[in-house]
Structure 1
């Protein structure tokens, strides 16, 4: 018997025939008190039926001094040479073991246990929720095989190895994403070594507390403090708008603008907000793109906002309005904005004329928006000359080429980046997109399905790109 284990041996008649030192400490009864006597005398209450059927569960025992002891018991049958049962070996976990296991499983913070080679041994419910898989999908797997390659995951693995090698605990904070989370969170993590009773290092335990709410609360407080001292230093409306932009860009936004109604600039009494759209004056804007704010409206100009646009809705509803790519109203508003931008206007016009000649007016709205985004992307991040090509085959393919060999990347969506949202919107509007290197730079292509009514086909080879016969080349 292992040292300290609470173990009893009971024969087929229910008589105690063996009694460990751990059993004595658990119940207060010595071996002389119980060996040779019925095991039932040790019970403080009849075991539940499900415990008898499963031979495992919590059983109420009577301590030698009379108080009740609830212990998690497991009975393993013992058979003789003829295969008949001769009794049971009953083991009891120390008091609180079951409760401790439940505490681990039900903890609100993510908790995991790893072996010394960074393989999962256990993961509680919170950890499984973060990882997006059940515990069975993690157990036995290396941590590195369960997450994407990212700097924060490399750091996590490095700290696990540090604890396993040094036997010293580690505590740190990290901004990190997880498979089941939609954005990065701020985690406060602690890792500590696990030892046997003899001191041998056997594993590493980890607890991660999501402190994102506290972090963002501190950031909001800091923003309010900064705004209170940096915005409104003068009575000039335009200067106040510029100070607001300075606070927002680039710390919180890639692009921001301030647009005002006529009565604000004229010092008049505020009129009723119309149910329809309205005209706003651009008095300030800012962008992370130096020298190219990506704005469809210049400072000092006016702009009409249709009823479905986010600014018109915000005025009408008297609250903040959050819009994003993929929403029909936002896509329509963005298309209208881009149509007024000088960037890419000739390209859109040429695309529209070609689609009309092909009888594909139905596809014009999405195609012109895709052209606008690809051309704007090339103007901002590529090098001239910039060329547009439309290919009508089994699908409608739009290609924009420039002289830069830099590969394109999806960038995070920014709701008011007026001059072009880049490739994220293209990816959402088209069936697929990609890029290929050419001898003179690169080409970015996007493919749309043709309208159902269009059955036209060009002769073989029409519009195919040189190289491998694939109109898309590589992705």
Structure 2
């Protein structure tokens, strides 16, 4: 049906004196019907239009003229979709297909369109209903379109969609910089051409953000920036650089009031930019920025930074709707930034505590050469409770310790410090590895009970470790015997790399984790060739959720296959080879290359149980000191030997053995088969005994005793004379 086949449309407001009779449904002539229908069409508040079978407009009502911003004469003859350059289709395919469905199939089709008419800065959303016009025989003769302005509903859906996306895309990590970048990216994808996130420098460091002094300047760090132009050419401040905003500037005023502010770039605004920062004004005018939106990032009553949005490619300026959306966006993002800031602060505190509790450098000694590494986890769980230690023991021996406390954060770090202190205290008593772990197990149980009594969560069924569970491996290496004794409580086995290049994970019986109580620990002793490397580590080094459990151990075996390399280099090689790309747990690594003390450093004598042997023991010690060139230490050493041998003869049992060890200090040891522990006491004026150990304590730097399977050993250390 061509346009000429359709009866002429009577202009609105006119009633012809003679009108063609139009039959009504009863078949009677109704000369005013066409006029009435035209009036009704014009007075319907919804925009309506009539199209012929070629989809060309043949009639529109007054509401459609107002909606299109054009008179009827400019719209007649246009095809649907030609009425504006910005007419878009969402989800229904090209407009020609929609028209075809209506005119060919007789379907009624809803159709979303977005249109900006002359004189409007923002486009409108329309829901168009396309439906066929049929004659009395049901034949399709034309197509009618009725539109409903759904702009408010569209904007509301858009806001909800953006805010829903914000919840999914912002705050995915507890990293301040990453959160700021996510905020800038979402902003430029939805309603800004350029976005800047400036955070207070204190907030980036995880510290409390102090308010700016009145009339003063506040230090910010450029934390993120995004643009629709590649490379963010609008920005004149590099990412990560510090800068300030004065209190009288628009950003400073927005921060001071805590409320968003919209600006169009007028002369006054340009003058402020030129006076405060000429390079910013030049950048703004160069790229045609015409509208800006400043939104403070405020969370929990504290302003953490500023979101700066600009438009230069989008023609319309920011409106109230944009400001509302930006404020909601900034409010949610600010909470994520504050959470990340608090996490950064807690993580920094936990790391500081962790590093302060870990040994910074192993003491120099003859038994082992040590190197170590500690790395915190990447995950948001925070710093864990992994620790290691190298503890000098009597008799030139050394204790090597690695442990792992359950949990993360400050609580785990504090617990780690308590356990490390307890291990050092128990090591000073010279307990065997299994006895030390037993005492440590009791301590963890006691800590857990105290936590529960203070209101902590009770342990669940079978979870004896509760809040203070831990694993630990304790090894004691004797450089004289070149033997090592190891016990472990739920901890991964140590690795031993021998000088011939063989690497094996030692088969040490694994005891229960600390805190279960009531179960024994076993000690395994083995010979260690001089120059071997003992590797102690936590499970965070070798285990990862995305790989086979045995893969980490095989990678570590290969990395340790060169025991002659420098230990620092070996540590780095192990980390590069074994560590997963992103660590879900922290990790500790301790490497110790063993040394041996030969006959040039050790002298041993078996002594008979005869009081006359005391003078002989002094002579033997003096002669050996002369061989070592330590004559200056002879007087004190002979006094110590005399008192310790006399003590063994009086209170101990044979056999008696005297041993001198030349290490970083001069060590004197007297062993016997007795089990009575020596006690230091102050003798009264008329006492005949009780002065021996007091003399030893005054003449030497430190002394003590240790129990062995064959009895006990009393030892004393004195500093070597300076050369």
Q: Report the TM-score, using the length of structure 2 for normalisation.
A: 0.32
Bigger Rg, which one: 2
